[in-house]
Structure 1
Amino acid sequence: MYLKTLTIYGFGHFHDRTFTLDAGLNYLVGPNEAGKSTLTQFIVAILFGIPTKKHPELRYEPLDGSRFGGALTFVQAKTQYTVSRTAGPHGGTVTLHDDTTDLTLPATQLPKLLAPMDQLLFTQVYVINEPRLGQVFSASKQALIERLRHVGAVGSDYWLQRAQQMDKQADTLYKPQGRNPQLNQQLRTYQELTDKLDKANATYETYWQLRQEQQQRQQQQADLQTQLQQQRRVTTTLTQRVSQWSTYVAWQRLAQNQQAAVSGFSATDATQLEQLRGQLTAAKQTLTADQQRIATAQQAAELPEFFQEYLPVAAQVDPLLTELPDVQLASQQQTALKTTRAELQRRATEIETQFAQDGQMPRAFSLATTQQIDQLQQRLTSANQQRRQLQQTLNQLNERYQQLQPAKAHATNPLADKQVVWLTIGLAVLIGAMFLPGAMFKLVGALLGVAVGYYGVFLVDSSTPASRQLQALTDDIRDSQAQLREKGRLIDDLTNQLDVIGTAHGLGHVPVEQWSATQAAIGEWERLTQQLETTDTQLAAVAQKVTDFRQQLATVLPKLATSDNATLWQQLATIVRLKTSLKSQESELATIATRLTHDQAAVTSAQQQVTTFLRTRNLQQVDDFYDRYQVQRERASQAKQQAALAAQLGPENLAALQQVSDLAALQAQLQQAQSKQQTVQAQLDHCTERLATLAGQLTHLTTSGTQATLRQRRQNLVTEMQTTTEKWLVDRLASQWIETTLAAASGDRLPQIIAQASEFYGKLTENRYTKIELTSTTLQVQKQTGKWRTVSQLSRGTAEQLDLAVKLAFAVVMQQQVAMPLIIDDGFVNFDERRRQAAYALLAEISHKIQVILLTADTTVIQLATGRVSQLSD
């Protein structure tokens, strides 16, 4: 057997990973915490079961919460199997599939495929790691010797443990030099009781006489108890029969009234009569139906007047009749189209009434026009909002200006007088300059006068706080008025553009706000107009088809052509039906006449069978049969009641009651039994009282440990000693048998394993140690020099190499019986470099016989060309 693929759903930190393995040597390389131990436990869990939550360190539940479990694909005996296991009770939910034959196998087949391998043997021998190799020191010499001796028998570790347990159990029962074991204590107690019994012989005679009388009374008591139980059963039985006497009387009455059943009136006969009557009724119904059919056929022979007009011109009308289904369909379509057209016209008229002006509907906007209108409306809305904000600002400025004006009118300016003075001086200078000689002087004087006046009027006036604030408000009001006029011009321009678009599309009478709803109505009106055109075209086509048909029909059947469409279609359909009916009418009448003859014969035959049925039973009427049948049913019911009463009484009681003449005799038997029961009860009470007296006397004689008590205690102790001895013998003999059997079972394989282990150990130690020897008491290895060393004298690495050699030898020797892959989880950490390479070479050698899976952190194996290398890390 070898593993082919490992598919992990979720196990430890692995999830959704797949590893492919070869049948020979496989290296799975990864650093610490890469998942080597996780992968080892995954293989064990899938093959033998997921550990329970009592062992969380072995469960490796997924760290990311993914589905817990996985699958293995392995090959055994040239057959490929896939086993999957997910979390569940009893080791998980298992599915097993035979990939070679594509069959799903029961989960119970998996242990049979792995047999005789179990989890204990697999983990001890085939799963190798450094802690397990290190157990070669922790185990005692004897335990190691026993393991090597019995490793050839599958499951021997369990039996060795059982043998050790039995030895321990036997030691708790008896040891030759012991004091505390159970049998040793019982032997001392036996000797003490024997000494006491010798001292109690003085009172033996009196005790023996009382004891003999007690035994006789006890036997008498037992006999009386048996008699009392029997008499109580007799009394109980008679009491029960007395209580059942009324039931017995009812049974007798039914038995006397019971009469023999008369044949011919059973349920089967009643069923037969019902069948005959049913046949007669069915035959009469068939006869009546055929009579009605022939009457209907005869009436149908009377043809209507319009059909008689059709007969002379049938050759011209028949081609038109073939078109009748299509013309009728066209007529139905004409009616439906008229209704549809009226509804379309009504809706279009409503829209025209609401939106048309002077009989002209507005035109729909194009996409560009719609986008232009949206932009203009957005700009107009924004301009209106800005205009309202400017108007609000202007109103606020005006209010502030009005508030400042009164304050200026009544305020006293200390520079007002200076302003008048400076203005007067400036005018005087300006006037005086006009009288100066020379134009230059006149110009300079005029400029000086203007400057003085300007200084007096403006600079003096603006130097006051009220004047400066009023001037600022005036400037703001002018700016706001200018912006307001600009927004007004923009709003007028946008409104004019919208008016132009509305006029161009016939929407001058519609407010801009309603243009969107108007456009939806215009679109609906255009669709309605197109549908009206299509409907008119279809209506004209179907109307023309109906008109053409009626015109062609009028030329050959003028009277029918004057009828409305519904009447005309009905008359033409009648012509078609009568035309078909006439063809088969003659043959149908002949067939119905023949069937009438047969129907009449069937009625006569059925009536004759009913009459015969009644005559065989000497009856005249059907009711007479049912009267006799009812009487027969009542008799059968009485017979059932009698049988039920007999079952209630029981066969034994019924037979006994039949032997009794009357109730008084039965009651006399009951009184006699009760009297006898009382007598036996009195004898038993007297015997019991005597036994109580004897017990008191014997107790008085044995209160100080007299002979009888001591003898009884000793006898009980002998019985206990026999039981203890039997348990001791069973445990001791079973332990010896297990050891003998395991030794015999492994006797032929153990030398092979030791010889193979010696060879492997030599290769692992570079022939430093060449031989392993196993005796009944020691395990030793021989050096190349010929000297022997025990396990305790070896270094840790060398001892672990010894354990590895033994396990590899076991796997190789037993591979014919137990072919399982070897899984090594970083087991060579205590090996030096040369012996580690020797171990790799040995694994490569044995991988030709068995599969080897080495999980290691040693990256040097990547350079080896002896096996398949896989990386554990993504």
Structure 2
Amino acid sequence: MYLNQLMIYGFGKFHDRTFDLTTGLNVVVGPNEAGKSTLTQFITAVLFGFPTKKHPELRYEPLDGSRFGGEITFTQKQTRYLVTRTDGPHGGTVTLRDLTNALTLPSASLPHLLEPVDEALFTSTYVMNEPRLGTVFSASKQELIDRLRHVGAIGSDFWLNQAQTLGKQADELYKPQGRNPILNQQLQEHQELTAKLAKAKAAYGTYWDFLRQQETQRQQQGVLQQKLDQQRQITAQLERQAASWPTFVQWQQLAQRQPLTTTGFTRKDATELERLTSRTTAMAASLKADQNKLQRLQQGAKVTPLFTQYLAATTQVDPLFEQLTTVKAANETCNQLRANQRDYQQRATAIEQQYASTGQMPRPFSLATHQQVKRLQKKLMAANQKRRQLQQELNRLNEDYRQAQPTRRQHSNPLADKQLGWLAAGLVILIGAMFLPGTIFKLIGALCGVAIGYYGVFIVDGETPASRQLQDLTESIRDIQAQLREGGQQEDALTNQLEAVGDSYGLGQIPVEQWSAAQTAIGEWEHLTQQLQQTAEQLTAQTQTISDFQIAIDQALPELQHQPLTNVLQQLAGLQVMRQALGSQQTELTTVADDLQRTQHTLRQTQQAEETFLRTRNLTTVDDFYRYYQQIREQDNQLAQQQALASQLGVTMRTALQQYATQAELIGVVQQAQHQQQALQGQLDTLTTSLATLAGQLDQLTASGTQAVLQQKLANLEARMTATAQTWLANNLTRQWIAATLAAASGDRLPQIVTQASEFYGKLTENRYTEIELTPNTLRVRLATGEWREVSQLSRGTAEQLDLAVKLAFAVIMNQRVGMPLVIDDGLVNFDEHRRQAAYALLAEIGKTVQVIFLTADVTVNAIAGNLIRLTD
């Protein structure tokens, strides 16, 4: 198979572009970002399908919005085909035509034409680039064999997956040296059950009493568990209601908002507003002329510009002089509040850094939880103390046991000599019996000799005080060890309960012994948070006073805009002094100032008329008048939001939340339900602890189960072992059969590929490496000097040359079975100049039998014979 023509409708940066290809070597030259990788992905996408939209970086949707897709003309077995793929579901909409016979084929015929090559094999073997050539570092013989089997037998990919799956399933069932497989575990369990069954033959009286007590407590546990589940449902429902309260409040606020009035916004009102604004503009111009005249007079009188502004706005500024004392006091108060705020914030931040390691402060304990934690800590302390006492007692018993062991000196006691005497007597009688006449007498004499020797060695030794002492010490040690195990289980249970409490209150990262200090710090943090809120409110009030004063000053005296408050207060004090100094002068300056005041008065009247016009329509500015219809649109959005919130809450949730007047009332109901749930949980935990104690006592009495139960378990286990062994055997045999069948289908192509790859590798490396060998786990190569090297010992460029040689050999050898074009996208960037030229020559040689599409940015490639395509043309 070879490609004849690529026609791109729209793919990446290309649109309405056609590329003609020949059967041999095709060289596509272009600089970076010219579209080489785009062209490579286009060939793969049209033949095998577009990637899903979950991988947009591989789809290459057209940048200019043109039609997504294209067509490829290719020839296979003397028949010319045209495949077209455009945007659509399941990899795109495909059209396939047989151009030779002028037939339209179903789209499902395309995969059959490309068999046995699928997208995975095409991209891993026939499409090469620099990153994919680097996979040789992890290549193995098995991977190449799997590729051969995939091409050698149609449908082998399914059987390869089946064989791999069966192998994994067999390994999960049994491994000779494994521990986790099912059959290995069953064999271990069989051994343990057999040992337990041999020991489970006593202590049945107490066992049945414990068993009846256990059944009673289990029934009680079931009733408590049912009550707890019901309470959990109630608590969870209330908690969902509490979580939905902010949404409910927002819905209520939107529902209570009054609609905007629609009167007073006609065209006639707009004309009236324009008349008022025009008059305001005219008076402002007159005011500016008076101000200019006053400025010229002031320059002659050497009056500051600020005082000039004051003369034009005396009616506005004079009342502000009376507020100077109040504003000064408010400024000092603000400085003090900001200092307090920084102090509170630093202290709160220090506490958060210490305890809010997860980004959220832990919650304070309730009274019940506080008492529960104290009780658990007290129990855990008592358990730890008891364990230390038992450990000390165990150490003492172990020391006594060591001292009670017999020494050499003790071995030479009279009792041991007596044992030797009994043994010697038994031996003499046994030997003498051999000389007695008659078999029956010999047998009786031998039995007497053995009995006398046994009595001397075992019976006499068992009656010694030292042996009885050792037996008593052994029993005591076992009893102490059992108590230590039981105490350890109790400590683990108490620790788990404390950890559960810590996790529920956000204290999981804090040691238990630091909880008391943490609760104190949490309380202080909440107090600091309240102080910060109060300080912020006070600061806002004082800041508002200062802000209102500064706004009034900025409007009356633009000269003082954007100046610090301290400077403003000083300037106003200077104005007061200058006003007193110039108050007795009757000059033209004051006359002009009076005219300026009258003009200002008239301007204020026009502004007031404009404000009255807007105020009667519930507006403040002219822009608000013209934006009213935008506000109507926003009102519609709020109505839609209200409906969305109502739908989110649902009728049931709104009805339930309407029963509560405040959020505090709802939280109180939630806390009461939580307390009830905790009480039930505490009762259930107590009963569960009692059941665990009974189970431990039953385990001690029955040695891990009654005889009947153990026998039944053993029988069931043997049945499962038989079924597991049969399944393992079937999976192994099936896997071996599949492997043998596919190996026969692939033939002897692997040695041919290795031989061909060795030849290609020698040409690429200028005969520095002469042979390639497949090992079970990787590849290795031989130097011309005879030394072998692993792939990991090669440089990256040399390793990529090895991978290129193997893939080229694979394509050439398998060309008789399946002919696919080789697409190489800038895969030689790590080759030096000499080996790059050798690679060019090798590609030209291979192009005589296999179609090669070589995309590169190297302009020196022009010397290669073949079809040359420039992307920049």
Fold shared per TM-score above 0.5: no
| Larger Rg, first or second structure (1 or 2) | 1
Range into which the TM-score falls when normalised by the shorter chain:
0.3 to 0.5
